Chains A and B, each alone.
Chain A
Amino acid sequence: MRLALQRLAANDLLGSMRKTLRLLLAIVLLAAADSLHADPTDDRQQLGDLEQGCATALIKADLRWLDSFYDQDWVLICSDGQRVSRRKSLAQLASGEVKWKSIVLSEVDIRVFGDTAIVIYKAVSVGEIHGATLRETELCTDSFIRVDGGWRCVHSHNSWAP
């Protein structure tokens, strides 16, 4: 009798273990499928929203938002070929040295290559640098990497556009 009960308990334990392992396998498979077959439409939507969010954050000087948008190693190459680090760019916004009144994006072209994405767009920006009004039209390119299911901007390069 005692032996039969022990066997029953062992069988129950084995059954629970099987269920747990199957559940774990299902979770792993779902995560794998999600990673291997990321929906490019979702990616483009996400990247488009991020670009729009970045323009809004630059106008509001929302450093917290920008901090999560730009990777630690992000670098900007300006239209005149100057290199600006993330630290300098954010410091200029924080100090008010650079202020943006409006940034309008158009002709946004988003391309996704697995965990790499590039975004090309035209930006018409109006703002102030050291108190002087700035109005410029630029062709901008941003390079992104996928991090934990989201996207982070690692590089930007701008050119004056007609």
Chain B
Amino acid sequence: MLLKRVADVLLLPMKTILSLLALLAVFTASPVVRGDEAADKAQITELEKQSAAALVSGDFQALESIFAEEWLLVGPAGEVMTRKFIFGQLRSGDLKFTGYDLGDMVIRIFGDTAVVVGRGTPHGEWNGQKFEEKEVFSDTFTRVGGKWRCVMSHSSAIADEK
């Protein structure tokens, strides 16, 4: 067996050779082997649709799986909000989405990082105040254990286009 001969030549136990090969496989696979870009884009598009729907339906199982625990949202007025804060607002009913329409999205994949720039029209109520605004948003995703998770969102309000 080839591996046995290599182990003999290097005067190393077979177990060590196998461990080295496993480590080498992890090392070489992570930065070089990229997933299929089209499949990644399709997955992320689906996640964007799911998150918009989950915000409206209050599906926390879906939201917790899409947004990483460290997720931060930067609002149009430069306010930085944590996942805990936003989910707390949703759970208490202080923040309600009655709809979240998604427009065009451009997705860029950089290995295990993805950035989405998209347009959306969220509408609902926050602390009794109705809102319906057009936004441009940026979502940054990172791939963890083969799964994409959103770590940051940044939203800017845009004026009505004529």
A residues within 8 Å of B by Cβ?
A: 14, 17-18, 21-22, 25, 28-29, 31-32, 35-36, 71, 73, 75, 77-81, 83, 109, 111, 113-116, 118, 120, 122, 138-139, 141, 143, 145, 154-155, 157-162
Contact = CB atoms under 8 A, between A and B. Distances in A.
Given A29-B20, A118-B72, A143-B140, 9 more contacts: A18-B10, A21-B9, A77-B154, A113-B151, A115-B113, A116-B142, A143-B152, A157-B74, A159-B75
A51 to B, nearest CB: 15
Interface residues of B, number: 41
Interface string B48-88: 00000000000000000000101010111111100000000
A159 B115 contact: no
A152 to B, nearest CB: 8
Given A22-B10, A113-B142, A77 B111 contact: no
B23 interface: yes
B10 A159 contact: no
Given A80-B156, A154-B110, A157-B138, A17 B74 contact: no
Contacts of A116: 112-113, 140, 142, 151
A138 to B, nearest CB: 7
B74 A120 contact: yes
Interface of B: 9-11, 20, 23-24, 26-27, 30-31, 68, 70, 72, 74-80, 108, 110-113, 115, 117, 135-136, 138, 140, 142, 144, 151-152, 154-159
Contacts of B20: 25, 28-29
B11 A115 contact: no
A79 B78 CA distance: 9
B78 A81 contact: no
A73 to B, nearest CB: 6
